[in-house]
Structure 1
Amino acid sequence: MSCQNTNDKMNKAPITDSNPTTITAGNALSVQQKQIKHYKKEPLYYIYIDHEQCFFDILVNDIPAFQYFKDGGIMSQVTLNNYIAKSGKQKITYRLYPQTKREYGEGFKELTPYTRFKLTLYSRDNADSLTSFDKRVQVFEHTNLKKEDGKTFIGAGLPYYEYTVEFNATVPYEQSPTLETAVDLKSMDKELLEKKTVEAYNFFRKIISEKNKDQYFSLVFNSDCRQIKSEYYTDEYLKETGNEDLFYFETPSFKLEPLENYTMKIYGDGKLVGLEHASKDIRLQGKSSIWGKYNAKEGGVRVRFLKILLYIPKGKDTFEIW
């Protein structure tokens, strides 16, 4: 590592990277292709959720994995591997909120006696492309706890309910860098941490607003690689999805909204930090504070949220994107 003079340190960016080579928008995909690795067995863990009369957040190892603040149910699976760093004990936490708005009928201010939440965890071998789904294994099924009558939701009457279940995972990879050695952000002064986080978010927003796509792809490179490795991407799939982020730079109508009305959230057992909307509007609730609007081809205005979580690797004093 080269030495830095005092002026360099004073002007150090609030988000940096630890890439082994220079990453640009032009070479990110080809370098990522070299990260693809396949194994004899590729366990893929995913959940299905069945719920009623509630909104919810899903966290895996205290990292936000999925949220649902819409009316009606969800049918698609939620893949967990990106949040599983290595083999061993894992935890899934669900947080339930009252369904404050419904398409038909009034919403609820509290969780109702009839709140229902069922989570089913499966594992299948991604390497078995022919019979993977047929041979999937149900790891466990969990249904929300009930009161002594066996019918009433245990959290009835509450504005919020949280529960954690654990399971053991076996994966052929170990994510690197790891959060295990990252700086414990809870030990930092809260006001200072928020100031640094806001500075980092504004820095990232500026990169996008000024169309600095090379710096953008460099900063998100390790985060992208983690997902590529843990979800066993194929070369074909990576080619289809690897340049999706160019949308932010090549869509003339896309414009970021101001960074405002946010709340700081700490995740990853104290190792990750991010800014989220503080609004109770279900269209924004829990969403990233980095977001923008654009004119959709089919007409109308649509929005996109850019969720980033930040951590400080051991031995560094600047954030990186997890």
Structure 2
Amino acid sequence: MTLRYIFHFNLFIVLFFAQVCAQKAKNTSLKNRPIEQLYSNVKPLKYGSMPQYFIEAHQSGCYYEVYINGILNDTRYINAGTMNNAIPINDNILKSGPQKVTIKLFPLGEIDGKVYTTLTERTRFTLEIFKRDKATPWEGLDYDVVHHYFAPTTTGEEARPFAHANEPMYEETFTFNAEVPYELTGWSDSQVIEGQEGIEQEVLDFYKEYADVIRNQDEDKWAEMVKTREQEYLRSVYYNDKSKEGFKKRVAYFTNTFDNEFIEKMPLDKYEITFSANGKIVTLKSLDYPGESAFSFKENRNRHNGERDKYIASHYIFLHKPKGSNKLEIIR
């Protein structure tokens, strides 16, 4: 099992951390706090159809990473099955039309005294993309599968031997069509920053600034840094509906960090700088902990019984430069 918790700012991981107990006293109420102001002055969107898209992956005999339109959406480096790991992806669907999905499969490495440096015939991976309509009442399994993918096999049948055994890694890209009533700016008008002189140092400087903001619990500055990401997330994933429990728990996760009596800066892991979305987005991936961000910090987590314990929070920061700007900003 990995040594650190991974937070990808998605609905179901947020649910895990969501039971936040009584918070440290503050001079202002939650509704007047900078975090809450991120989501102020918005009204729920009302469309005839409000599709919410999700991915759900299952693997055996491999680790994986799933990218939606170039953004890492799901990763698993634990050799165990998953249940109910549906992850919303609307925030990475900028507008209707073809959406690009990239699958990367990796060998298990050392497991139970054996070392796997390549994928084997027993490698299995499936990904289901499905949607439900927020405009209609939720009725349990009331959803539509829009794409079912399984890693290629020798016969073309899902349960047969993996077709790329003995390879050190497998990658495949496909598209599916999405229809959404909104359009997000996202990174559509961003500059191509891959190859820009000094870009790596700019990224390192941004990570240092972001770590200082969290360590100093500068909630105003943090809210300013994540404003675009959070507003596009609320609009696309929840259609500006702040009454949903998943959204409330997302906010609770953030406020818990800024109501924390203990936060410790941690040095960046050894990292790989990676660009995506045709060179418009950059992030730092950890080389010490595969599948995780190179960025982390240590804080006290609220437990279910009201007590706190120290844990390491690690989450990805996806950066871009908006058109006409020479400054990196958080986009996802």
Q: CA deviation at 1:295?
A: 4.5
Q: 1:112-151 residue pairs with structure 2 within 5 A?
A: 112-131=120-139, 133-147=140-154, 151=160
Q: Give the direction of change, closer, same or farther, for the CA distance of 1:244–1:25 in structure 2 (3 Å limit).
A: farther
Q: Distance in 2 between matches of 1:256 and 1:302?
A: 12
Q: 1:252-271 residue pairs with structure 2 within 5 A?
A: 252-271=261-280
Match of residue 295 from structure 2? 290
Q: Distance in 2 between matches of 1:149 and 1:312?
A: 43
Match of residue 27 from structure 2? none
* Preserved contact between residue 292 and residue 314 of structure 2 (Cα < 8 Å): yes
Q: Give the direction of change, closer, same or farther, for the CA distance of 1:107–1:74 in structure 2 (3 Å limit).
A: farther
Matched to 1:29, the amino acid is E
The SS at the match of 1:217 is helix
Q: CA deviation at 1:249?
A: 2.6
The SS at the match of 1:158 is coil
Q: CA deviation at 1:293?
A: 2.3
Q: Does 1:53 align with 2:61?
A: yes
Match of residue 311 from structure 2? 302
Q: Does 1:213 align with 2:213?
A: no
Matched to 1:129, the amino acid is P
The SS at the match of 1:186 is coil
Match of residue 25 from structure 2? none
Q: 1:180-259 residue pairs with structure 2 within 5 A?
A: 180-189=188-197, 192-232=198-238, 233-237=240-244, 238-259=247-268
Q: Give the direction of change, closer, same or farther, for the CA distance of 1:268–1:313 in structure 2 (3 Å limit).
A: same
Q: Distance in 2 between matches of 1:126 and 1:80?
A: 14
* Preserved contact between residue 256 and residue 290 of structure 1 (Cα < 8 Å): no
Q: Distance in 1 between matches of 2:37 and 2:116?
A: 50
Match of residue 77 from structure 1? 86
Structure 2: tracts of 5 or more residues without a match: 1-30
Q: Distance in 1 between matches of 2:206 and 2:37?
A: 28
Q: CA deviation at 1:173?
A: 0.6
Q: CA deviation at 1:129?
A: 2.0
Match of residue 37 from structure 1? 45
Structure 1: tracts of 5 or more residues without a match: 1-23
CA deviation profile, 1:52-81 (whole Å, cap 9, x unmatched)? 101100100111111111121122212211
* Preserved contact between residue 207 and residue 215 of structure 1 (Cα < 8 Å): yes
Matched to 2:253, the amino acid is E
Q: Distance in 2 between matches of 1:118 and 1:128?
A: 28
* Preserved contact between residue 59 and residue 124 of structure 2 (Cα < 8 Å): yes
The SS at the match of 1:138 is strand
Q: CA deviation at 1:168?
A: 0.7
Q: Distance in 1 between matches of 2:309 and 2:40?
A: 36
Match of residue 108 from structure 1? 116
* TM norm structure 2: 0.80
* Preserved contact between residue 208 and residue 216 of structure 1 (Cα < 8 Å): yes
CA deviation profile, 1:174-218 (whole Å, cap 9, x unmatched)? 013x312111112423xx111111111111111112221110111
Q: Give the direction of change, closer, same or farther, for the CA distance of 1:49–1:259 in structure 2 (3 Å limit).
A: closer
* Preserved contact between residue 35 and residue 219 of structure 2 (Cα < 8 Å): no
CA deviation profile, 1:1-21 (whole Å, cap 9, x unmatched)? xxxxxxxxxxxxxxxxxxxxx
Q: Does 1:156 align with 2:161?
A: no
* TM norm structure 1: 0.83
The SS at the match of 1:110 is coil
Q: Distance in 1 between matches of 2:260 and 2:51?
A: 37
Q: CA deviation at 1:265?
A: 1.0
Matched to 2:241, the amino acid is T
Q: Distance in 2 between matches of 1:31 and 1:259?
A: 28
Q: Give the direction of change, closer, same or farther, for the CA distance of 1:203–1:49 in structure 2 (3 Å limit).
A: same
* Preserved contact between residue 33 and residue 235 of structure 1 (Cα < 8 Å): no
Aligned residues: 290
Q: Which moved more, 1:39-48 or 1:54-63?
A: 39-48
Match of residue 311 from structure 1? 320
Q: CA deviation at 1:144?
A: 1.0
